[in-house]
Amino acid sequence: MAANMPDDTTPDDLSDDFLDPDDDAGSPARALAYTVPDEAAGQRLDKALAAGLPDLSRSRVQALLDQGCVRGDGRTITDASLRVKPGQTFEVQVPGAEAAEPVAQDIPIDVVFEDADVLVIDKPAGLVVHPAAGNPDGTLVNALLAHCGDSLSGIGGVRRPGIVHRLDKDTSGLMVVAKNDRAHHGLSEQFSDRTLSRTYLALVWGVPNPTQGRIEGNIGRSSADRKKMAVVTGGGKHAATKYRVVKSFGMAASLVECVLETGRTHQIRVHLTHIGHPLVGDPLYGRGRSGRPGGKFASLLPEPVRGGLVGFPRQALHAAALTFRHPVNSEIVTFRSPIPADIHELIVTLETV
């Protein structure tokens, strides 16, 4: 991993969409309305609301009922077992989440480069970037606060001090962190205008045809599964991805370099799935139309090679290179990270087939 080296990659992004500097407050309060359809007649209120308001789980609905946040027929309703009638309308007030201030925790991080303004780290798979629901601590932010001390606090917001972009929990590779407001502003501008360059390597099922090209399609929330993103025909945000097959392993799998012209949530994962080549190990998008990991491509592999790929515990995606203009001295710097051991072992195994 070296700095000040020429780089021939072009700007890219991935599921770690650029963080808006204003996107750091707790989530805002929401007012939701639900009218009972004919087919839901007689259902329990908590079940009907959870089905009709897919952003809320049934347990979350029950908690909101207990808190007096649901109204219907002109009164506050707290009874989750109430049987609903067709045409009834319920109003649900979802309180806004307050941003919690993270604490410093002594968590080891792989520092690739550091000066007074920026920090480049090589994030391992499994490390969450910033605190959120389900991960209140043990994150990269907690580690950074311990590493940098009080100087980092508040830069870029309370919950995400110094963070200007993110990687999914199970995506490994390079990230740049701002250590002061000037650096945060300069890096944010580069992410916003796509002049910062990142290169990702993905191990995917099958071999894209053609072996290099451009995938374009708006990305938005999947109507079938609210936990997933998808290429959508209406709405969503414009997204475009360039890709190149670096190496193929028969017709079963290939190593693909991805370059994104935009940065949308789960963009690499969604776009490669859209063209029929999901990432090996991807828990959200990796099952294909057959419902089985790898689908028809897995059947092309002998055991135990097939088992190694099917059972891979994370999406095989790695942020391999990072180039940006230093936000204070304007020097162009480049950093590189080798493919991590777990993905490398898969590649070595595939080469034996």
Which helix (H) or strand (E) is 288 found in, with range? none
Whether residue 138 contacts residue 105, with contact meaning beta carbons closer than 8 Å, is answered with yes
Provide the pLDDT confidence category of residue 3 given band limits of 50, 70 and 90: very low
CATH of the domain at 77: 3.10.290.10
* Whether residues 255 and 154 fall in one domain: no
From the candidates 13, 17, 168, 170, which is the catalytic residue? 168
* Whether residues 107 and 244 fall in one domain: no
CB within 8 Å of 175: residues ≥ 6 apart: 120, 121, 123, 129, 140, 165, 166, 167, 319, 322
- pTM for the predicted model, two decimal places: 0.74
Using the predicted structure, report yes or no on whether residue 194 has a pLDDT greater than 80.
Answer: yes
Residue 168 known to be catalytic: yes
Mean local confidence (pLDDT), 139-155 = 87
Cis peptide before 95 (omega within 30 of 0): no
Mean local confidence (pLDDT), 210-227 = 91
* Whether residues 291 and 246 fall in one domain: yes
Q: What is the pLDDT of residue 292?
A: 79
Provide the pLDDT confidence category of residue 54 given band limits of 50, 70 and 90: confident
Instruction: Establish if 24 belongs to a structural domain.
Output: no
* Whether residues 202 and 347 fall in one domain: yes
Q: What is the pLDDT of residue 159?
A: 75
Using the predicted structure, report yes or no on whether residue 213 has a pLDDT greater than 50.
Answer: yes
Of 176, 193, 210, which one is at a domain's C-terminal end? Answer: 193
Using the predicted structure, report yes or no on whether residue 209 has a pLDDT greater than 80.
Answer: yes
Strand 70-72 relative to strand 89-94: parallel, antiparallel, unpaired? Answer: antiparallel
Provide the pLDDT confidence category of residue 11 given band limits of 50, 70 and 90: very low
* Whether residues 212 and 189 fall in one domain: no
* Whether residues 342 and 223 fall in one domain: yes
Q: What is the pLDDT of residue 179?
A: 93
Using the predicted structure, report yes or no on whether residue 62 has a pLDDT greater than 50.
Answer: yes
The range of the structural domain enclosing residue 169 comes to: 100-193
Mean local confidence (pLDDT), 309-321 = 96
* Whether residues 113 and 40 fall in one domain: no
Provide the pLDDT confidence category of residue 34 given band limits of 50, 70 and 90: very high
Q: What is the pLDDT of residue 306?
A: 95
Q: What is the pLDDT of residue 28?
A: 67
Using the predicted structure, report yes or no on whether residue 33 has a pLDDT greater than 90.
Answer: yes
Of 167, 193, 219, which one is at a domain's C-terminal end? Answer: 193
* Whether residues 165 and 253 fall in one domain: no
Q: What is the pLDDT of residue 252?
A: 97
Q: What is the pLDDT of residue 90?
A: 95
Mean local confidence (pLDDT), 182-207 = 91
CB within 8 Å of 142: residues ≥ 6 apart: 102, 103, 104, 105, 107, 131
Instruction: Establish if 173 belongs to a structural domain.
Output: yes
Give me the percent of the chain exceeding a pLDDT of 70.
89
Whether residue 173 contacts residue 200, with contact meaning beta carbons closer than 8 Å, is answered with yes
And the tokens for 14? 């991935």
Query: Over the stretch 250-281, which tens digit does the pLDDT of each residue have?
Result: 999 999 999 888 878 899 999 999 999 999 99
Provide the pLDDT confidence category of residue 19 given band limits of 50, 70 and 90: very low
Instruction: Establish if 269 belongs to a structural domain.
Output: yes
Mean local confidence (pLDDT), 232-240 = 90
Q: What is the pLDDT of residue 134?
A: 77
Q: What is the pLDDT of residue 157?
A: 76
And the tokens for 352? 């034996």
* Whether residues 75 and 111 fall in one domain: no
* Whether residues 336 and 212 fall in one domain: yes
Using the predicted structure, report yes or no on whether residue 352 has a pLDDT greater than 60.
Answer: yes
Instruction: Establish if 127 belongs to a structural domain.
Output: yes
The whole-chain average pLDDT of the chain stands at 87
Q: What is the pLDDT of residue 1?
A: 39
Which helix (H) or strand (E) is 249 found in, with range? strand 240-249
Among the listed ranges 50-59, 112-121, 308-317, 323-332, which one has the minimum average pLDDT value?
A: 50-59
Of 94, 120, 140, which one is at a domain's C-terminal end? Answer: 94
Query: Over the stretch 93-128, which tens digit does the pLDDT of each residue have?
Result: 988 655 568 899 999 999 999 999 999 999 999 999
DSSP string, 172-217: EEEEEEESSHHHHHHHHHHHHTT-SEEEEEEEEES--SSSEEEEE-
